Structure 1
Amino acid sequence: MKSLHCPSCGTSFVRVTSNEGMVEKALNHIRMFPFRCQLCTNRFRAFYLSARQSTQAFDRRQFKRLATAMDAQVIDSKLLPFTNRITDISMGGCAILAGGLAKGAFVELVLKSSIAGEEIRIETAMVCSVRPESVGIQFLEFRPDEQRRLSQVVLGLLVGQSGHSNTYS
């Protein structure tokens, strides 16, 4: 079977994602699975014979987290702005080495990446998990040009990985 590509942007960096509703669960029986593009965030369904073996039932994320080491300025209305290191990133969120942020807090992030060439401003993000050394942040709102620059960063990290042959997981 030929490899899957996103129908929106044409990339092969797609990932099986979780079912949304009974219809998608039923479609799994005829080998039609939901996928999420890791760059343009498009969600689509496609026939794929071995998708069920590649699913990440243990991982509810729709986007694969990619290891990185870039700085980000965190802007919170209750704290002074501070800069810390991002340890992993995707189109949907990141993990940042930080303390003092509460779960559910809304923040603004300014990512400093050498790949994108410019800063990437995430206008609205939410702290989803708090661990002793880091917090998990979900990206909620950013402009299309910022999303394009973030996808360049993610593409660079995806291409840099040796495991590109297992794109569907």
Structure 2
Amino acid sequence: MPQRRCPRCRTTKLRLAPFRSRVDRLLEVLALYPVRCQLCGHRFRAWLGRYRKSQRRNYERVPVRCPAWFRLEREPEAQQPEHGTIANLSIRGCLIRTGRRLPLGTPVSLEFQPSPSTFPITIDCAIVRSHARAGLGLRFVNLLRSEERRIRRLVDLHLYNAPL
């Protein structure tokens, strides 16, 4: 069987997506499952031939180790940035290791440096979605297209081609 590719960006870095509608459930009978590209985010259906359970996340997170700084969205100029380390990253979110606990739903601005020889990547708005041991799970809400491209390149370097 040929390796599946994203129809938009032609990468093979795909992952099963959660069912969103009755149509998804009906097409499951024909072995057509929702799939999401891990680099461009395109969602489409593909014939997989046998049942596979969908994962909790839409995007695979890759392990990274980047210094990061974040601030609460309200009055960002008035406060000192908090320091942390990004432990894993996807095109839509990350886990930042920090001692600071923030309530779920708290908006923050985030900046992290993928390597010492590059400029920092800036995320204008991220939302605290989960608490992990000594860290915060963030979902990116607002970022510039150029920054999104840089994150995609970083994820592409670390993400393996996993067959569905």
Distance 1:11 1:25, change over 3 A: same
Q: What do residues 107-133 of structure 1 show as CA deviations (whole Å, max 9, x unaligned)?
A: 111121129933211111100112341
Match of 1:43 in 2: 43
Match of 1:105 in 2: 106
2:131 is equivalent to residue 130 of structure 1: yes
Q: What do residues 77-122 of structure 1 show as CA deviations (whole Å, max 9, x unaligned)?
A: 3653122101111112111112132211001111211299332111
Match of 1:83 in 2: 83
Question: Equivalent residues in 2 for 1:114-129 (5 A)?
Answer: 114=115, 117-129=118-130
CA RMSD of aligned residues (A): 1.9
Distance 2:157 2:137 in 1: 22
2:63 is equivalent to residue 62 of structure 1: no
Distance 1:25 1:67, change over 3 A: same
Q: What do residues 57-95 of structure 1 show as CA deviations (whole Å, max 9, x unaligned)?
A: xx3210011111111111213653122101111112111
Task: Tell me which stretches of 4 or more aligned residues in structure 1 moved more than 6 Å.
Answer: none
Question: What is the count of residue pairs matched by the alignment?
Answer: 159
Shift of 1:141: 1.5
Shift of 1:6: 0.8
Distance 1:167 1:117, change over 3 A: farther
Where does the alignment leave 5 or more consecutive residues of structure 2 unmatched? none
Distance 1:47 1:19 in 2: 14
Q: TM-score, normalised by structure 2?
A: 0.88
Distance 1:74 1:94 in 2: 12
Distance 1:17 1:115 in 2: 35
Distance 1:117 1:26 in 2: 47
User: SS of 2:129's equivalent?
Assistant: strand
Once the two structures are aligned, what percentage of the paired residues are identical?
Answer: 28
User: SS of 1:156's equivalent?
Assistant: helix
Letter in 1 for 2:157: G
Distance 1:9 1:15 in 2: 14
Contact map agreement 1:116 1:150 (CA 8 A) in 2: no
Question: Equivalent residues in 2 for 1:23-34 (5 A)?
Answer: 23-34=23-34
Distance 2:117 2:14 in 1: 21
Letter in 1 for 2:141: L
- Which of the pair is proportionally richer in helix? 1
